[in-house]
Amino acid sequence: MTQSDSPPAFVDSLHLPSPALQAALQQLYEHDPDFLMIEQANGSLSVRRWEPGFASLVRIIAGQQLSASAAQAIFQRLLHQMELTPANVAACSPDDLKQAGFSQAKIRTCQELATAIATGKLNLERFAQLSDSAIVEQLTQIKGIGPWTAEIYMLFCLERFDSFPAADLAIQASYQKLKNLPQRPSRKELLAYCEALRPVRGVAAHLLWHDYRISRNQRIPVCS
């Protein structure tokens, strides 16, 4: 089923923090007041917030090792090619995903994910009852989904505020800037630096992305 006549869906806008995120933000500031400087320098925090489900996971897979704008363009092309359901993606020709701009590796990942959901091997609706570690364990059973993809999904879609994608280069660069470090920290180093921020490390990630977007002059519309 095509969606060529449908209006653009899944707009990559930013949102004001939810009440829960606002509360977690204050908790972070109590842990480490340095993070206050990010809002002071860049204005109030805005965040990405996506609906839980298969489509959001496909969007995150599209964004692996790509800029947000490039990933969004690929994802929008896919939305206009087909109705984005696990059954449709599992059954479609790989060429359909290739035409949208997915690499061969990402095509295999999306189709394996779609098959796992369509056959009941993976149930995203149960994630609300699972721990962060259990969610990461289940998602990373799909080849091509690593910790970064699982952590982004938990943070953007499930509001798991301790989910911390420490391998993200933008987060690493912004943390280096915030703490005036001589070099960009590795994933292992960043996890060690931010261990004391539990259980709100993901809020730190949102702030670090916020600083990176403003520093790079990436102006994205903010919605309520």
Residues with a catalytic annotation lie at 168
Which position has the token pair 């670090």? 208
Instruction: Measure the CA–CA gap between 108 and 102, rounded to whole angstroms.
Output: 10
CB neighbours (10 Å) of residue 55?
Answer: 19
Question: What are 14's strand-pairing partners?
Answer: 222
Which position has the token pair 């696990």? 86
Please, which residues have CB within 8 angstroms of residue 143's CB and are 6 or more apart in sequence? 108, 109, 112
Q: On the CB side of 35, how many CA atoms lie within 13 Å of its CA?
A: 24
DSSP for 55-90 reads HHHHHHHHTTTS-HHHHHHHHHHHHHHS---HHHHH
Instruction: Measure the CA–CA gap between 16 and 128, rounded to whole angstroms.
Output: 22
Q: Are 130 and 158 a contacting pair, CB within 8 Å?
A: no
Instruction: Measure the CA–CA gap between 97 and 50, rounded to whole angstroms.
Output: 21
Q: Are 107 and 94 a contacting pair, CB within 8 Å?
A: yes
